[in-house]
Structure 1
Amino acid sequence: MWLFNRLLPKLIRKGRLTVITHDGQSSSYGDGDPAWPALTMRLHDAQVARDIVRDPRLGAGEAYMDGRYSIEGGDILDFVTFVRANRPWESGSSALERKGMAARAGAALVGRVNRFNQRRTSKANVAHHYDLSDRLYDLFLDRDRQYSCAYWTDPANTLEQAQTEKLGHIAAKLHLSPGQTVLDIGCGWGGMALYLNRTCDVDVLGITLSEEQLKVARARAEAAGVSDRVKFALIDYRDVQGRFDRIVSVGMFEHVGPAHYREFFRTCHNKLTPQGVMLLHTIGRINKPGTTDAWTRKYIFPGGYSPSLSEVMKASERNKLMITDVEVLRLHYAYTLREWYERVQDKRAEIEALYDARFFRMWSFYLAGATAAFESGGMVNFQLQYCRDRRTLPITRDYMADAEKALRAKG
């Protein structure tokens, strides 16, 4: 318990966290504020505390996966969001401290190593997450199987409505005209491509590195009778041939890796027509460049990294892409993740039958941690619009609102 006594008083200041060891010792932390949660963490072996203190994120995640501790008075989502809310991103000293040169250099080196994503490993990294059983994603995603941040015009909306409105929100920013060609980089299971074709009368090529996603996307286009206009391919974005009037990429940039950002934007510039427009939707961090935590890299997104806005701008501005609109979605992914988490909990029996109890706990911890990062941590979503010619788009944003309203009417 002495290990936790060194760590937890710094982490838990509001509310109450009681820790009960495997041999029955009990300690409590926090001020007991009744407006905050009161949770109990029960440790099931003598080594849990040491493993968590040694590496809090990796240790806490692995110990929970292995069933070495449990949460009472709530669940893992309650626990993780409670801990993170005690130290929100907005908190801290009013005077920001400056790190020494050695500390900055060390952090930068670790960041470069952790964020490096070689081309030859990209497909394997994508497969690690997206080539899981189709049945898993059917259990917690919306009917259109959108596996990215939804757009909540009202937090009371259904997940299905919020995901459809996300598609319209993005389509409006693409400023589409009938007959145009669109490249969808990281097309997922085809929902965006099919939506753009149906609502905007455009031809779309969706590309992915996931074989499972490709099969589903092609089957959906065939079933809709639009496979002549909505095509899907298993190909790296760098190998696509031809030019397109529009490029859209939703939830794929997180897998590019900072070492390849300039190459990504150079490729997009060269794939756009001179009057082309691009919309990039990505998870991002509202502070400076950092690293992906060890647990997420190991179990969920190997090679994945969410960029700071400065990293994106540094790469895109060197490739003659003009930034024409920036939107920061602050809480939208938190709402989305809570919906996914609740659906996963409701489908526990099916998920454990599909995989096992350890996988269920892993997936729950992943969604809980992500929710906390968007509710209290430094994660947001960026929607960045680019063009090659400054005269391509209207000079005010009114066209976006008008188009979005029309698209909502189409449903």
Structure 2
Amino acid sequence: MDIDKLFYKHLMKNLFADPCEVNFWDDELIKYGIGNPQFRINFNEPIPKLKIIRDPYMTFGEGYMLKKFDVVGSVQKVIESIYKNQDSFLHQKNGYTKLFKVFTSNIRENIENIQFHYDIGNDFFRLWLDETLTYSCAYFMSPEDSLLQAQRNKVTHILRKLNLTPGQTLLDIGCGWGELILTAAKVYRTKALGITLSSEQYTKTLRRVENEGLQDLVEVQLIDYKELEGRTFDRVVSVGMIEHVGKEHLNDYFSTVKSLLNEDGVSLLHCITAYKESPTNSWIKKYIFPGGYIPTIQELVALMAANNFYLIDVESLREHYTKTLEHWIQNFENSLPLIMKIKDETFIRMWRLYLNSSAASFHSGNLDLHQFLFTKGVNNTLPLTRKNIYF
């Protein structure tokens, strides 16, 4: 992923008071703001980030002089638009240095942290996950359900809660290997976009979309959710992703979902939860989930309210995760001869400890798993009961 490009996108997003277009050096055209664009910035080449941080006025002045970028429209309008935006970093002392550090460290950390855990090889995950490569809590309609059936149950459970209809748009933040967006397209004829920071998940999901001939309905992007520009959706879902954003960025998640949802839109958040705040286990943080944080139920509900969401439904799936992990553990141990061909003993012992300690945490109640269903604005069209979920 091009960190320089992400830096520029974030810079342009927060720079102007008026709607505009920015054409980057690779010919990607992005519209910022609502309404007709008042001008367009054409970048002919990237300008070093450090120069912008040290002296943005000099850097952009010389950049225009030396034709590093052009303006289509009134140059005066461009400058006035910057001045009118009182929230711009240019109106704050050391504002951009602070913004740059927060933005780049968060994006880079997100990418590195996700890839640390998920890009250790599809071949490894394939040995102990189910056939759909679903790596999150399953839903057991019966104790006798296979892991594959329970994972399909989970996807069905979520899609029913979202109350999808044909033609609606769906965003899956942290789409994994694509099972949810593929099912939404096939069953509901939903136009679905899945985004991930894992290059291995992206490649595999893209192949699945092509193999099933769903290119007209399903799209996949390798992108951070905060960098998704110029699009809104009827439904937004996230399964097992918010645990990776960090405590300091929890509100960023909800405010971003709010901006991505259409009015009356519905969102479902499926995530591990805690009942009291505590620091992340240092071993888990170092070896399994660097940058991870398990949010408390209180934090999540408070942030939903702070962002003016209406909380519709909350469901605990704690023991479902215990059973899911027990299936994974059994598959892991049964696959040891094959795992030993691609991973060393230290790695195997590390993952064995991780899976087993996780099962113990859910079964003992130290951790929980909740699904939160909430809406942007008052949505009076949703079913009055849960019959649509359990029929």
Please tell me whether the aligned partners of residues 329 and 352 of structure 2 are also in contact (alpha carbons under 8 angstroms). Answer: yes
Cα displacement (A) at 1:199: 1.0
Question: In structure 1, what residue type is equivalent to 2:316?
Answer: V
SS at match of 1:331: helix
Pair 1:141 & 2:119 matched: no
After superposition, what is the alpha-carbon deviation per residue over 1:54-111, rounded to whole angstroms, capped at 9, x for unaligned? xxxxxxxxxxxxxxxxxxxxxxxxxxxxxxxxxxxxxxxxxxxxxxxxxxxxxxxxxx
Q: Which has the higher contact order (CA 8 A, sep 6+)?
A: 1
Please tell me whether the aligned partners of residues 334 and 374 of structure 1 are also in contact (alpha carbons under 8 angstroms). Answer: yes
* Structure 1: segments with no counterpart, 5+ residues: 1-116, 406-411
User: Using the alignment, how far apart are the partners of 2:174 and 2:389 within structure 1?
Assistant: 24
Question: In structure 2, what residue type is equivalent to 1:248?
Answer: V
Cα displacement (A) at 1:395: 5.5
User: Using the alignment, how far apart are the partners of 1:263 and 1:317 within structure 2?
Assistant: 14
Pair 1:292 & 2:280 matched: yes
The aligned counterpart of 1:262 is 251
Cα displacement (A) at 1:237: 0.5
After superposition, what is the alpha-carbon deviation per residue over 1:297-322, rounded to whole angstroms, capped at 9, x for unaligned? 01100011111101111222111111
User: Using the alignment, how far apart are the partners of 1:403 and 1:376 within structure 2?
Assistant: 28
Pair 1:167 & 2:155 matched: yes
Cα displacement (A) at 1:126: 0.1
From 225, 231, 234, the equivalent of 2:213 is 225
Pair 1:402 & 2:388 matched: yes
User: Using the alignment, how far apart are the partners of 2:219 and 2:390 within structure 1?
Assistant: 25
SS at match of 2:194: strand
RMSD of equivalent CA atoms: 1.2
* Structure 2: segments with no counterpart, 5+ residues: 1-104
User: Using the alignment, how far apart are the partners of 2:380 and 2:218 within structure 1?
Assistant: 25
Question: In structure 2, what residue type is equivalent to 1:118?
Answer: N
How many positions carry a matched residue from both structures?
286
**Aligned ranges for residues 1-20 of structure 1 at < 5 Å?**
none
SS at match of 2:373: strand
Q: Percent identity?
A: 40
The aligned counterpart of 1:322 is 310
- 383-392 or 361-370, which deviates more: 383-392
SS at match of 2:127: helix
From 269, 281, 284, the equivalent of 1:280 is 269
User: Using the alignment, how far apart are the partners of 2:188 and 2:340 within structure 1?
Assistant: 41
Please tell me whether the aligned partners of residues 289 and 311 of structure 1 are also in contact (alpha carbons under 8 angstroms). Answer: no
Please tell me whether the aligned partners of residues 139 and 347 of structure 1 are also in contact (alpha carbons under 8 angstroms). Answer: yes
SS at match of 1:140: coil
User: Using the alignment, how far apart are the partners of 1:261 and 1:317 within structure 2?
Assistant: 13
The aligned counterpart of 2:69 is none
The aligned counterpart of 1:61 is none
User: Using the alignment, how far apart are the partners of 2:284 and 2:340 within structure 1?
Assistant: 21
User: Using the alignment, how far apart are the partners of 2:206 and 2:377 within structure 1?
Assistant: 33
The aligned counterpart of 1:372 is 360
Question: In structure 1, what residue type is equivalent to 2:276?
Answer: K
SS at match of 1:156: coil
The aligned counterpart of 2:201 is 213
From 319, 328, 331, the equivalent of 1:331 is 319
Pair 1:307 & 2:295 matched: yes
Please tell me whether the aligned partners of residues 361 and 367 of structure 2 are also in contact (alpha carbons under 8 angstroms). Answer: yes
User: Using the alignment, how far apart are the partners of 2:242 and 2:323 within structure 1?
Assistant: 21
Cα displacement (A) at 1:404: 4.5
After superposition, what is the alpha-carbon deviation per residue over 1:106-135, rounded to whole angstroms, capped at 9, x for unaligned? xxxxxxxxxxx8332100000000001111
Over 3 Å counting, the alpha-carbon distance change for 1:404 and 1:203 in structure 2 is: farther
After superposition, what is the alpha-carbon deviation per residue over 1:328-379, rounded to whole angstroms, capped at 9, x for unaligned? 1120100000000000001111111101111111111110000000111411
Please tell me whether the aligned partners of residues 189 and 217 of structure 2 are also in contact (alpha carbons under 8 angstroms). Answer: no
**Aligned ranges for residues 37-56 of structure 1 at < 5 Å?**
none
Question: In structure 2, what residue type is equivalent to 1:255?
Answer: H
User: Using the alignment, how far apart are the partners of 1:316 and 1:403 within structure 2?
Assistant: 23
Cα displacement (A) at 1:228: 2.2
SS at match of 2:327: helix
Cα displacement (A) at 1:403: 4.6
Please tell me whether the aligned partners of residues 281 and 382 of structure 1 are also in contact (alpha carbons under 8 angstroms). Answer: yes
Please tell me whether the aligned partners of residues 276 and 392 of structure 1 are also in contact (alpha carbons under 8 angstroms). Answer: no
Please tell me whether the aligned partners of residues 163 and 382 of structure 2 are also in contact (alpha carbons under 8 angstroms). Answer: no
